[in-house]
Amino acid sequence: MPSRAYARLVWLTFAATMLAVIWGGIVRVSGSGLGCPDWPLCHGQFLPSVDLATRIEWTHRLLVLLAGILVAAVALWTLLRYRAVPLLAPLAVAAAILFALQAVIGGVVVILELPSTWVTAHLANAEILLAVLTVLAVLVRWPAVVTRARPDGAAWLGASALVATFALLLTGAYVRGADAATACTTWPLCDSGALPSDISQVVHMLHRYAAAAVGALIVITALAAWRQPARHPALRPLAALTLALFALQVALGAANPLTGFSPWALGAHPAVASLLWCSVVGLVAVQWRPLVPEGMAVARDVIALTKPAIMSLLLLTAFGGMFLAERGVPPFGVLLSVLIGGAFASGGAAALNQYFDRDIDELMRRTRKRPLPAHRVSTRVAVVLGLTLNVLAFAVLWLGTNLLAALLAVSGTLFYIFIYTLWLKRTTAQNIVIGGAAGAIPPLVGWAAVTGSLDLPAWLLFAIVFFWTPAHFWALALLIRDDYERAMVPMLPVVRGERATAWAILWYAASLIPLSLFLFVIRAAGMLYLVAALALGGLFVWYAVRLVRAADARRRTMARNAYVFSLLYLALLFVAIMVDSTVRLPL
């Protein structure tokens, strides 16, 4: 049971984040989004003192900073004290990740001078962050659970209202982005009636109609929850709060045109919308919580089939290719297509890999608890998931970017399954050297998505990942050599021994330094990238040297250190590429 102090911190974090989101609405309504034209500072200062727009925007950033500190504190406290409590650790970590993503999107919004797509993405991510914090707050406020075997009609109504409310929030953002918020000066109908001809008024009225439909669903959901007080003591308070906030939101929607779009009405409308969203989230969380343990187990196994940790690293390298090709932030549509299509391709390949490797995984301590060898998921699920995700990946990348990017993504899956998994992995100690080409394809996908071609910088990114892969994977192979020996997989430590493997890791780590510098030499990357490449490459070699010099008793400890740093090396190098491409320093 979490302590009262922890519960207070969670609620304080929720309140601070909500305040930051509400103030963000004030920034938008007041037109202060570029009050600070740079990021993360404001007019090059930490505490600027100029016009009102700057002060409004800077206040928003200070509130975000406060919320970020609190989110980090919650995540740290949860991981240190309550990581064994169901749901708390995943929610706290998710909140920290979403907050970091929110900061990045906020910086992009400023750098690109408020494009509507990125502004909408900023709002969407903020509302998802609020939803996660809401569920966390509900869990620590009402820890009791009432057992229920399956979801009833009220629970499904709540889930439907949740999805509909989020969609309504996004349509509201679209109305503001389309400058249609003030298109209708009367209420409930528009100036020219229920079906106006002006496009701005049409957009505005469509939002009102959607609000009416979603509102009816919210009211029905709240009333259904109110009639089930025995299910959970929190249902009636949350239902009453939801109804009250909905009534207030309707009143504010009417107040906007009736007051001539007064600033207080314009600002209050999105603020109450966020509060209503969180109230619906809390209501649904209480309704569905008894079903979470079983549902979470199934979802966790399906997600595990996609190897999300590897997916995130591959997506990062694809993003590096996009940023380098664009020499800045790529178009939102391309970025979103590569994010979704790349995730589908990576997840699909991982699911198929686990299907074909299930016999090996059963023999290895590291992998025997995966869903397939543990027989928690059927092989049919893995195959269907893998094939479906790859088909979706091809479709998303082709429609959202171009045919070359789509073909590259699918070719990565084919190479990974047929060349590496089914052939090289089981037959030769050079399996990961050649098979590493599959993991080096994402940067090519990112570059091709932006340019529609493959140029020298893209192939240099491919080469960096290609040469990084053996050093990274052999460090892991040193840690689990016994597993590979038991499964009769001819990894280098099994075939040639640990010392030869350590020297091979050093050779590949050293080769990354000159290879990574070529991006600077051909002027594809700038000074910031050069410093990062030299520093990271030097550290990688240092870890490899320590591995070579380690005594037999210490070699696995050194291998673990080298393995962990190899992950940091690739992630930080591609982050440096993205930052350098966006904020180019003079050479």
pLDDT tens by residue, 369-404: 899 998 888 899 899 999 999 999 999 999 889 999
Residues 315, 346: contact at Cβ < 8 Å?
yes
Read off the pLDDT of each residue in 64-86 and give the average, rounded to a whole number. Answer: 87
* Whole-angstrom distance, CA of residue 78 vs CA of residue 91: 9
> Quick check: is 398 in a domain?
yes
pLDDT band (50, 70, 90) for residue 144:
low
Confidence of residue 256 (pLDDT cuts 50, 70, 90): confident
Output the CA–CA distances (angstroms, integers) from residue 418 to 278, 371, 382, 435, 438, in the order listed: 47, 22, 16, 10, 11
pLDDT of residue 148: 47
pLDDT at 291: 54
> What is the reported pTM?
0.72
Model pLDDT, residue 149: 44
Q: What does the pLDDT read at residue 294?
A: 52
Task: Considering only CA atoms, give the Rg of the chain.
Answer: 26
What DSSP character marks residue 193?
A: B
In-domain check, residue 521: yes
Residues 101 and 139 in one domain: yes
**Residue 138 CA from chain centroid, whole number:** 23
How do residues 288-314 score in pLDDT, each as one tens digit?
Answer: 765 555 555 667 788 889 998 899 899
Q: Which residue has the higher pLDDT, 87 or 320?
A: 320
Tell whether 70 is covered by a domain.
Answer: yes
Instruction: Quote the DSSP letter at residue 461.
Output: H
Question: Which helix (H) or strand (E) segment is 244 a member of?
Answer: helix 235-258
Count how many Cα atoms sit within 13 Å of the Cα of residue 129 in the half-sphere of its side chain. 28
What's residue 172's pLDDT? 84
Q: Could you tell me if 361 and 354 are in contact, meaning their C-beta atoms sit under 8 angstroms apart?
A: yes
44 band by pLDDT with thresholds 50, 70 and 90: low
163 part of a folded domain: yes
Residues 6+ apart with CB under 8 A from 301: 371, 376, 377
Q: What is the pLDDT of residues 496-525, one digit of tens each?
A: 999 999 999 999 999 999 999 999 999 999
Task: Tell me, yes or no, whether 454 lies in a domain.
Answer: yes
For range 8-16, the mean pLDDT: 93
Q: Give residue 559's pLDDT band: very low, low, confident or very high (50, 70, 90).
A: very high
Residues 105 and 207 in one domain: no
Which residues, in sequence order, are bridge partners of residue 193? 190
Residues ≥6 apart with Cβ < 8 Å to 502: 478, 544, 547, 548, 550, 555, 559
Give the pLDDT confidence score for residue 389 in this predicted structure: 93
* Signed CA dihedral, 549, 554, 558, 560: sign only: positive
Mean pLDDT of the chain: 87
Element (H, E) at 543: helix 527-549
Give the mean pLDDT of 555-578. Answer: 92
Distance, CA of 563 to CA of 472 (rounded, Å): 6
Place of tokens 């397939």: 372
Same domain, 402 and 519: yes
Distance (Å, whole) CA 87 – CA 89: 6
Contact 356, 321 (CB under 8 A): no
Q: Which of 292, 324, 358 is the last residue of a domain?
A: 292
Alpha-carbon distance 510 to 545, whole Å?
A: 10
CA separation for the pair 467, 344 (Å, rounded): 25
Share of the chain above pLDDT 90, in %: 48
Q: How confident is the model at residue 85 (pLDDT cuts 50, 70, 90)?
A: confident
Between 464 and 226, name the one with better pLDDT.
464
Find out whether 345 and 412 touch, Cβ atoms under 8 Å. Answer: yes
**Beta-ladder partners of 45:** 42
| CA 95/CA 113 separation, integer angstroms | 26
pLDDT tens string 443-487: 999 999 999 999 999 999 999 999 999 999 999 999 999 999 998
Task: Spell out a b/e string for 355-380, using b for 16 or more CB atoms within 10 Å of the CB, else e.
Answer: bbbbebbebbeebeebbbbeeebeee
The 3-state DSSP class for residue 498 equals helix
* Same-domain check for residues 335 and 283: no
Band (146; pLDDT cuts 50, 70, 90): very low
Closest CA to 161 of 3, 290, 25, 288: 288
Range with top average pLDDT, 24-28, 138-142, 269-273, 528-532: 528-532
Scanning 306-430, the segments in alpha helix (DSSP H) are 308-326, 332-356, 358-363, 379-400, 403-414, 425-427
Within this chain, do residues 106 and 41 fall inside the same structural domain, yes or no? yes
SS3 263: helix
Compute the average pLDDT of residues 51-79. 86
| In a shared domain, residues 357 and 502 | yes
Indicate if 136 and 209 belong to the same structural domain. Answer: no
Q: Are residues 33 and 139 in the same domain?
A: yes
Tokens of 574: 């591609």
Residue type, 479: L
Asked, for residue 167, whether it belongs to a domain, the answer is yes
Residue 37 amino acid letter: P
Using the 3D structure, point to which of 143, 164, 187 is the last residue of a domain: 143
- Tell me the helices (H) and strands (E) count for the chain, helix number first: 23, 0
Structural domain containing residue 436? 306-582
For residues 479 and 441, is the Cβ–Cβ distance under 8 A? no
- The count of structural domains within the chain is 3
Of 76, 109, 143, the one marking the end of a domain is 143
Q: Give which of 572, 583, 573, 571 is closest to 526, Cα–Cα.
A: 583
> CATH code at 393?
1.10.357.140
Q: Which of 87-91, 318-322, 502-506, 522-526 has the lowest mean pLDDT?
A: 87-91
pLDDT of the residue at 33: 67
In a domain, 300, yes or no: no
- Give the 3-state secondary structure of residue 373: coil
On whether residue 298 sits in a domain, the answer given is no
Confidence check: pLDDT of 147 > 50: no
Q: Is residue 111 located within the same domain as residue 160?
A: no
Highest mean pLDDT among 62-71, 107-116, 153-162, 459-468: 459-468
Residue 344 and residue 201 share a domain: no
Decide if 131 contacts 283 (C-beta within 8 A).
no
Tokens describing residue 32? 């202060």
Task: Place 246 in a pLDDT band, splitting at 50, 70 and 90.
Answer: very high
Distance CA 331, CA 87 (A): 36
pLDDT at 94 over 70: yes
48-57, 183-192, 467-476: segment of lowest average pLDDT: 48-57
Task: Identify the sign of the CA torsion 194, 200, 203, 205.
Answer: negative
Residues 195 and 311 grouped into a single domain: no
365 and 498 in a common domain: yes
Cα–Cα distance measured from residue 256 to residue 270, given in angstroms and rounded to the nearest whole number: 11
